[in-house]
Amino acid sequence: MALQDNPRGLLVHRDELSGWLASFDMYRATRGADAARWNELYHGRPLIVDRKTGTPRTIRVDMAAVSVTGTTQPGTLRRLLTPELFESGLAARVLFAAPPYIPTGGRPRDIPGPVSLRYQRIVERLCYLAMEVNEERGSVPVDLPMTPEAEGLWWRWVREWTEERRDLDEESALQAVGAKLEATAARLALLLSLASWADGRALAPGPVGLESMEGGITLTRWFMREATRLYSVLLEGTDLPPRLLALVRWIQRRGGDASPRDVARSGPAAYRAPGGSERAEKDLQALVDAGILEPGSSPETDGAGRPAPPRYALRPLRHATECANSAEKLELCRMSHGQSGDIEAEPPTDASADEWEDALP
C-alpha cells in the first residue's frame, strides 16, 4: 500500500542492515521468496500482489521502486549474506562502500556550514522533481536522453566492460556484480546529471551529458574495486563458488546426505531448473573432490525396483587441523561436519583482516 501511495518510490534506511537481511523469509514457508521480491523492486517494474485477506485483494503498482541504504559490521554481513543471497543475485545488486579505516588521531572535523547547506539544497531540489502526468497511468517517470557525446562514451564503456568481464571466472560471485554494474554506470550518470541541475550548474534536469557519464563510469569502476576487496573478506578462505556453499548448507539442514535426485527435486533453486539433476551430480562430485563429501551407502534399487541413485554424505571430521585459520573456513568446516564448539581457529594475523574491525561507513 505504501508503494501505491508513493509513485516516485520509497527509501528504506536502516542504521543496522542486519535487521533487514535477517527478516528475509521469516514469515514464509518458501526460502528465497523475499530475496526474489527485492530483486524485482531493484528494476522499478510493475508489481502485482494477490492477498488472501484485506481490501483490495489485488494490489498493483505500475512502477515499484525501493532503494535500501544503511550500515553494518563486516562480521555480521559475512554471517547474513548467505550463499543463497549470492546465488539469487541480491548481493550483486548492492553497491558496497567499505574504505579501510584510517585513524585521524584527533577530534573528527565538522562539515563546513556552506558545504552542509549546499548538500541540503541539492537533496531538497531532487525531492521536488516533478513526474509527468499520463491520462491512463497517472504519474510516470520523465525520460532523459543522453547527449550524442555521452551516448558514444556509454557504448564504448559497454564494449570495454564486456571484455574486462571475460577475465572473471564464470562461477565467481564477481561475475554477477560485473553484469549488474554495466547498467549501474548509466544510473549513476543520471543521478550526477540531476544533482548538477539541483546544484544550479545546469538550466534544466537533462539531457545526460558527457561529464555526468564520465563520472558515472568512474564511480562504477570504484564500486567494482570495493566489491572485489569486500568479497575477498566475505568469501575469505573458501575456494567454493556460492552455489556449492549453498548446496553444502542445504545438505547439512536435511540431515547430512543427499542424492542428485534429492537435490534436483528440493535443493537450492539453481538445481530445480531443467538439467538440474546433471548439475547436481557434477557439483556433488566436486564436493567429494574438495574433501567435504564422501560417497554414502545406498540400496541397490529404489521402491519401484529401479537402480537407486548414488548418495553422498558429509565427511566426518578426522582432525581439527583440516579447518583452516579463517572464520569462513571454520564456519564451513563446522557446518559440513555437524560440529560446533570443539574446533578452534587461530586469530587472523594478516594486516588486511584488521581493517575490517570497524563498521562499514
- Asked, for residue 6, whether it belongs to a domain, the answer is yes
CATH of the domain at 281: 1.10.10
Indicate the residue among 215, 235, 255 that finishes a domain: 235
Residue by residue, DSSP assigns 8-75 as T-EEEEESSTHHHHHTTTTT-SSTTHHHHHHHHHHTT--EEEE-SSSSSSEEEESS--EEEEE---HH
- Given its phi and psi angles, is residue 198 left (phi above 0), alpha (psi -120 to 50 degrees) or beta? alpha
Answer yes or no: do 251 and 173 share one domain: no
Encode the chain (361 residues) as per-residue pLDDT tens digits: 688 888 888 999 988 888 888 888 776 666 677 888 888 888 888 888 887 787 888 888 888 889 999 998 877 887 888 878 888 889 999 999 877 666 566 666 788 889 999 999 999 999 888 888 888 777 888 899 999 999 999 999 999 999 988 877 776 788 889 999 999 999 999 999 999 999 998 888 889 999 999 999 999 999 998 888 788 667 655 556 778 878 887 887 777 788 898 999 888 888 888 888 889 999 998 888 877 788 876 665 555 666 777 888 877 533 323 333 344 444 444 444 444 333 333 333 333 333 333 322 2
Same domain, 267 and 306: yes
Contact 2, 11 (CB under 8 A): no
- pTM score, two decimals? 0.64
Residue 223 lies in a domain: yes
Q: Decide the pairing of beta strands 257-258 and 293-296.
A: unpaired
Query: How many independent structural domains does the chain possess?
Result: 3
Take residue 286 and report the three cell numbers written for it. Answer: 566436486
- CA–CA distances in Å: residue 251 to residues 6, 246, 301: 43, 9, 22
**Within a domain: 107:** no
| Residue that finishes a domain, picked among 186, 207, 235 | 235
Domain containing 200 equals 95-100+121-235
Instruction: Give the H or E element holding residue 134.
Output: strand 132-134
User: Does 250 lie in the same domain as 210?
Assistant: no
Mind giving me the DSSP string for 174-203?
HHHHHHHHHHHHHHHHHHHHHHHHHTTSSS
- Predicted local confidence at residue 118, as pLDDT: 94
In a domain, 114, yes or no: no
Verify that 257 and 301 share a domain, yes or no. Answer: yes
Task: Say what the pLDDT of residue 160 is.
Answer: 93
Is residue 47 a part of any domain in this protein?
yes
Do residues 126 and 223 both lie within one domain? Answer: yes
